[in-house]
Structure 1
Amino acid sequence: ILVIPKKHYDSMIDVNEEDMDIIAHIHKVINIIAKEKGFADKGFRIINNCGSDGGQEVKHIHFHVLAGKKLPMYEKDTK
């Protein structure tokens, strides 16, 4: 599931202090979605990529909500 604010921000870095309440609102919405879709109890992952080194490809802030199965832990970068 993708959660995307209507107001445009390139990434988290571009959300100014006055607008930071949008991030709290997004997390409230994710909680509602998790409960409605039935994966709140078992768990889920929220991902937000910031910048090219962070894996961001779409230049509009958005949050990926992953759920529905046991998700693997990330392995440490060994490079």
Structure 2
Amino acid sequence: MSELSDRFQQLLSDFEDITDEVTPAEAPVSLDDPVLQKFWRIWPDLSQWAGSLWRELNDDIDESASPAADGVTDVGGSG
């Protein structure tokens, strides 16, 4: 795994742990103001980036799950 993949994996794991630990309603009283202000400031860009990545991955999954374009279905077990 590349260093970037390692960092992203750790980020996702940490974020998931935090979301398991505190609800959105509890976060404003559980987190420090500078952290909340940074979240508020950077979230629109993060959300847009994450949404774009998700759509890219979703399109890739949809393409690989699509039936063959020639309409021929492979059926095994003949013989």
Q: So what's the TM-score if we normalise by structure 2?
A: 0.31
Answer 1 or 2: which has greater helix percent: 2
Give the number of the structure whose alpha-carbon radius of gyration is greater. Answer: 2
Answer 1 or 2: which has greater strand percent: 1
The higher-RCO structure (CA 8 Å, 6+ apart) is: 1
